Amino acid sequence: MRYAPLSESDRRLMLAAIGVPSIEALYAEVPQKARREGLLDLPLGLSEMEVERRLRALAAKNVSASSAPFFLGAGAYRHHLPAAVDSLIQRGEFLTSYTPYQPEIAQGTLQSLFEFQTFVALLTGMEVANASLYDGATACAEGVMMANRLTGRKKTILSGGLHPHYREVVETYGRFVGFAVEAKDPAPQKGEDLASLIDRDTASVVVQNPDFWGELSELSALARACRDKGALCLVVVNEILSLGLVRPPGEMGADIVAGEGQSLGNPLSFGGPHLGLFATRERFMRQMPGRLVGQSVDAEGRRGFVLTLSAREQHIRREKATSNICTNAGLCALAFTIHLALLGEKGLKALARLNHQKAVALSLRLSRLSGVRVLNRAFFNEFTLCLPAPAEGVVEALAQKGILGGVPASRLYPGRTELADLMIVAATETASEEDMRRLEEGLMEVLR
Amino acid sequence: MSDWSRAVSASAKESAPPGTTSATRKAPEATTSGHRGLVLEEELLFEQGSPDLSGVDLPPVEAFADRLGSLERKAPIGLPGLSEPQVVRHFTRLSQKNYAIDCGLYPLGSCTMKYNPRANERVARLDGFAEIHPLQPAATIKGALQVIEDLAHWLEVLTGMPAIALSPGAGAHGELCGMMTIKAALESRGEERRRVLVAASAHGTNPASAATCGYEIEAVPSNEKGRLDLEELERRLGADVAALMLTNPNTCGLFEDEICEIAEALHRAGAFFYCDGANFNALLGRVRPGDLGIDCMHLNLHKTFSTPHGGGGPGSGPVALSAALAPFAPLPWLVHGEKGLCLREGRSPPAAQSIGRIKGFHGQFGTFVRALAYLMSLGADGLKGAAEDAVLNANYLRTRLEGTLSLSFPGMSMHEVLFDDRFLEGTGVSTLAFAKAMIDEGFHPMTVYFPLVVKGAMLIEPTETESKASLDAFVASLEALAQKARAGEAAFFHEAPRLAPRRRFDEVAAARHPVLRWRPKAAAENGG
């Protein structure tokens, strides 16, 4: 086996040193009835070439975003990833290191996570950020639980514009962790009055911006209402690139920001691994979930970075920890940091503007089609179309024409007939003029 | 996973040994640049470049009427500006300050730091895997669903359990998922059980996950052989116990030899058996948890199945479920429909009793591809061989080191071996200081101060991808260090590490006045 560095003679020498006749003897303390003899009913090992051949064949059965005009979003976005990102994250020193428990020999990971935390705080307009969580949906659930701890209350109110997967994850956590979830119905294009729902049991109000339908909103009034009633305002951002162009939640008064960072540095990868972002106010720092990296000095007075505030965490506090998180999304956070470092202030703003421009141009094109309506007033790189036919069939018909046209709302809201004609369309910098033309023509043909 | 609680507090005491303060310590060789040969100092990104630089060229955007409402961001964000070569140099320099499995032995116990094959990386980056969206139409993702189906099959056969829940994002998330399925199963029986028993040797995530799920935690002590004490367990069992959480092999590196009796006792009491699968590497192809009466076990793809840990993730924590728990598996489900494999994303049959969704989309697909590539590479024969070599390496280290360090429990080791600090008694050297001295020897320290069942624990897991020469070099260093400790050279250990990119940190001060982000100088001075 190509990954095995022990030779047969090594094994013999080692068994002799241990003083046993065979490998079998090393398993002597495993009860006989627990052991399996022979090989399991699984294929035998393959060469690298053969493994690659077989997996390539499976990959070829998928239609990739790079092989078709592509306009899907709804919480996962296709962006062009600079070559340097992937090259750098494949350096073995980053790729194959563990959680940085020994700071003297983990400054690469620790400094880049400190830079990551700074980037997330700057983008969201918040004071502090953690070193990442699994993904946006679980970050949202962790934020809700943090608000419960901070307020001593046990209810959360979810906007109807929250991504349905995020809502479902919060509902699952609510059922098993023990808090109440009041989820508003999805109502694209209609304003919702969340402020009036806040009562004395409400720990948090969760609202997404841009929301699931792509719509942008001013949230300052809601944040004020939360503050007046002793609840926390949790803002979800699942297209993090939007913050290159759109006022950040911190400026609108958010108390907690839970986000999805996949857009920067990370491929779609069929939905994971993605990157959970988590930012909040400095005074809530000690109730944050997950790893935190802090600045320190070493015994020679040199600046360096360490994992800090570990007294919140499971490996110290066990059942009293602020969360059970151990592993996070370190390498995805590194990719995010590298991509954002490459873009810089100038590049991020330009990329965000380019996304917006593409989406505005596409919305204008598609709204000219007969029977097609754009629902949004304000949006970033994604908007919702109301079609004259059920969107699911339209998306499938487009796929047959080799166009990945958008996400039908019914995929995430099955059985809701009032949403059946809605299709969510995203246009990023990767959408070419030709791609947009093909989507327009494809839609025209399908809807004819 | 490992436990550093005492390491953190111990380092506070030791960071400034008597007679030395940070001001009196000097760098061995001062240079004008601050660099020391290949150890290159590197400023933060925010301290470099110029705001008008960028490492990405984008086409100009012509003027257009925006659709942002009045929500345009006006103030500068505060990001730096760097060209591509500057960024590449920055992260390359940072990478050189990291120890990694690619550099050498990484013997963190219960973390299974084995070699991460590069073939896995290449296939995960194929466009057909990396560039597919989780909400694409079914006809365009057939290969992706086949990957998930194939991986689930491998894991079902390896565990001998009938169902695999693939969505958990890491091991601790798998634990939480498992506890949720147990709670749901109990609820469906009309039972409300409040307590979860956790082995004293368990990872900290076990009690934290069960507590997150609303359970009261009670620890079950180990016996003098380092195994769970069956009598103590039976004494605690009752109508309000939902489950036991136990790691097998446990974190003392030992097989729980009464595991079948433990399972029987739990099931007699109507409780479920949760097994932490962090240490499954020892058992591949030899022991199937499903044959032992285990109801629920998470696997760490980033440990046992070689996907890279990436400096702290991403992980992936699939959970194997018994027939009793399978109906409660989280959404989405992969089912065989009329048109072949399809995703079931709502609570409709057969997923009507599902606990619901615990993560966005469909789990850590990128790690699934890597793990599947690994499984196909090793095969039934290679996996069994990997487990055997892992156990052989651990036992070899036990044999070579038991005269030097203090072996905590006698007998055969599984994939890891536990020592404690008795050999350091009277030397003035702590486990932490001993570990720090290993850094100067060019090794990543073992897991220290975990498990909590012995004092000053040192838990060593070499894995199967270490050569005999690598193990012998490790042994030689540990022998020399132990001799040094016994020779009264405590000061040497208090000063360690001397040769790493950084010396020891003042972690207590870092926690007392946390600085979690960079701020511009003026703001930082104003306390803002």
Interface check B213 vs A, CB under 8 A: yes
Q: Match 């070689």 to its residue by tokens.
A: B306
Same domain flag for B287 and B360: yes
Interface check B384 vs A, CB under 8 A: yes
SS3 for B413? coil
* Residues A84-108 pLDDT 10s: 999 999 999 999 999 999 999 999 9
Helix (H) or strand (E) holding A445: helix A433-447
Is B302 contained in some domain? yes
Domain boundary among B356, B374, B392: B374
What stretches of B117-270 show up as alpha helix (H) in DSSP? 118-124, 127-130, 142-159, 171-188, 205-212, 230-236, 259-268
Same domain flag for B413 and B345: no
Same domain flag for B203 and B323: yes
Distance of CA B31 to the CA centre of its chain: 38
Same domain flag for B362 and B404: no
Interface check B409 vs A, CB under 8 A: no
- The answer to whether residue A58 scores a pLDDT higher than 70 is yes
Q: What percent of chain A has pLDDT over 90?
A: 94
SS3 for A136? helix
Is B524 contained in some domain? no
| Domains: count for chain B | 2
Across the interface, of A13, A42, A52, the residue whose CB is closest to B154 is A42
CATH of the domain at B419: 3.90.1150.10
For residue B505, the chain A residues in CB contact (below 8 A) are 103-104, 296-299, 304, 306
Same domain flag for B370 and B384: no
Residues 6+ apart with CB under 8 A from B166: B148, B151, B152, B318, B334, B362, B363, B368
Query: What is the model's pLDDT at position B16?
Result: 41
Closest CA to A169 of B245, B32, B355, B421: B355
Cis peptide before A100 (omega within 30 of 0): no
Strands B272-276 and B241-247: parallel
Same domain flag for B216 and B149: yes
Residue A115 to residue B507, Cβ atoms within 8 A: no
pLDDT values of chain B reduced to their tens digit, one per residue, 528 residues: 344 333 333 443 444 444 444 444 555 568 899 898 888 999 999 999 999 999 999 999 999 999 999 999 999 999 999 999 999 999 999 999 999 999 999 999 999 999 999 999 999 999 999 999 999 999 999 999 999 999 999 999 999 999 999 999 999 999 999 999 999 999 999 999 999 999 999 999 999 999 999 999 999 999 999 999 999 999 999 999 999 999 999 999 999 999 999 999 999 999 999 999 999 999 999 999 999 999 999 999 999 999 999 999 999 999 999 999 999 999 999 999 888 999 999 999 899 999 999 999 999 999 999 999 999 999 999 999 999 999 999 999 999 999 999 999 999 999 999 999 999 999 999 999 999 999 999 999 999 999 999 999 999 999 999 999 999 999 999 999 999 999 999 999 999 999 999 999 998 989 999 999 999 886 665 544
Across the interface, of B96, B113, B439, the residue whose CB is closest to A108 is B96
Same domain flag for B391 and B481: yes
Is B211 contained in some domain? yes
For chain A, the average pLDDT equals: 97
Contact B226, B252 (CB under 8 A): yes
Across the interface, of A23, A54, A216, the residue whose CB is closest to B376 is A54
Residue A17 to residue B121, Cβ atoms within 8 A: no
Same domain flag for B145 and B248: yes
Across the interface, of B79, B132, B205, the residue whose CB is closest to A64 is B132
Is B3 contained in some domain? no
Across the interface, of B16, B84, B108, the residue whose CB is closest to A98 is B108
Interface check A58 vs B, CB under 8 A: yes
Amino acid at A386: C
Query: What is the model's pLDDT at position B523?
Result: 66
Amino acid at A406: G
Interface check B126 vs A, CB under 8 A: yes
CATH of the domain at B363: 3.40.640.10
The count of C-alpha atoms lying within 13 angstroms of the C-alpha of B47, restricted to the half-sphere facing its C-beta, is 11
* Residues A103-144 pLDDT 10s: 999 999 999 999 999 999 999 999 999 999 999 999 999 999
Distance from CA of A32 to the nearest CA of B (A): 10
Domain boundary among B374, B406, B440: B374
* Residues A383-421 pLDDT 10s: 999 999 999 999 999 999 999 999 999 999 999 999 999
Domain boundary among B346, B374, B402: B374
Query: What is the model's pLDDT at position A322?
Result: 85
Question: Which of A1, A53, A54, A104 to substitute to test the interface with B, most B CBs within 10 Å?
Answer: A104
Same domain flag for B160 and B295: yes
Average pLDDT, stretch A175-188?
95
Q: Six-digit token pair at B71?
A: 């929500």
Burial of B74 per CB tally in 10 Å (0-12, 13-18, 19+):
exposed
Is B84 contained in some domain? no
Q: Six-digit token pair at B135?
A: 């909400």
Across the interface, of A300, A338, A344, the residue whose CB is closest to B53 is A344
Residue A29 to residue B255, Cβ atoms within 8 A: yes
Is B279 contained in some domain? yes
Show the domain range for B393: 379-511
Is B170 contained in some domain? yes
Question: Which of A46, A87, A98, A394 to substitute to test the interface with B, most B CBs within 10 Å?
Answer: A98
What span, in angstroms and rounded, lies between the C-alpha atoms of A360 and A379? Answer: 8
Neighbours of A315 (CB within 10 A): 23
What span, in angstroms and rounded, lies between the C-alpha atoms of A277 and A357? Answer: 26
What's chain A look like in SS3?
Answer: CCCCCCCHHHHHHHHHHHCCCCHHHHCCCCCHHHECCCCCCCCECCCHHHHHHHHHHHHCCECCHHHCCECCCCCCCCCCCCHHHHHHHCCHHHHCCCCCCCHHHEHHHHHHHHHHHHHHHHHHCCCEECCCECCHHHHHHHHHHHHHHHHCCCEEEECCCCCHHHHHHHHHHHHHHHCEEEECCCCCCCCCCCHHHCCCCEEEEEEECCCCCCECCCCHHHHHHHHHCCCEEEEEECCHHHHHCECCHHHHCCCEEEEECCCCCCCCHHHCCCCEEEEECHHHHHHCCCCCEEEEEECCCCEEEEECCHHHCHHHHHHHCCCCCCCCCHHHHHHHHHHHHHHHHHHHHHHHHHHHHHHHHHHHHHHCCCCCEECCCCECCEEEEECCCCHHHHHHHHHHCCCECCEEHHHHCCCCHHHCCEEEEECCCCCCHHHHHHHHHHHHHHHC
For residue A137, the chain B residues in CB contact (below 8 A) are 357, 359-360
Across the interface, of B44, B52, B509, the residue whose CB is closest to A346 is B52
What single-letter DSSP state applies at residue B302? T
Interface check A119 vs B, CB under 8 A: yes
Interface of B with A in 145-164 (CB under 8 A): 146-147, 154, 157-158
Same domain flag for B396 and B369: no
Average pLDDT, stretch A39-56?
98
Distance from CA of A230 to the nearest CA of B (A): 24
Query: What is the model's pLDDT at position B339?
Result: 85
* Residues A195-242 pLDDT 10s: 999 999 999 999 999 999 999 999 999 999 999 999 999 999 999 999
Residue of B nearest to A1 (CA): B382
Distance from CA of A229 to the nearest CA of B (A): 25
Same domain flag for B426 and B280: no
Same domain flag for B348 and B293: yes
Question: Which of B216, B361, B499 to substitute to test the interface with A, most A CBs within 10 Å?
Answer: B361
CATH number of A67-80+345-447: 3.90.1150.10
The residues spanned by each domain of chain A are 67-80+345-447, 83-339
What span, in angstroms and rounded, lies between the C-alpha atoms of A304 and A77? Answer: 34
Interface check A88 vs B, CB under 8 A: yes
Query: What is the model's pLDDT at position B25?
Result: 52
Model confidence at A325, pLDDT cuts 50, 70, 90, reads confident
Is B32 contained in some domain? no
Interface check A344 vs B, CB under 8 A: yes
Query: What is the model's pLDDT at position B28?
Result: 59
DSSP for B151-173, written as a single string: HHHHHHHHHT-SEEE---SSHHH
Across the interface, of B154, B183, B399, the residue whose CB is closest to A18 is B399
Taking the model in full, what pTM does it have?
0.96
CA atoms B249, B165, A274, B114: torsion sign: positive
What span, in angstroms and rounded, lies between the C-alpha atoms of A68 and A13? Answer: 57
- Domain A83-339 fold is Aspartate Aminotransferase; domain 2 (3.40.640)
Interface check B330 vs A, CB under 8 A: yes
Interface check A92 vs B, CB under 8 A: yes
Q: What is the count of residue pairs from A and B with beta carbons less than 8 Å apart?
A: 749
Helix (H) or strand (E) holding A436: helix A433-447
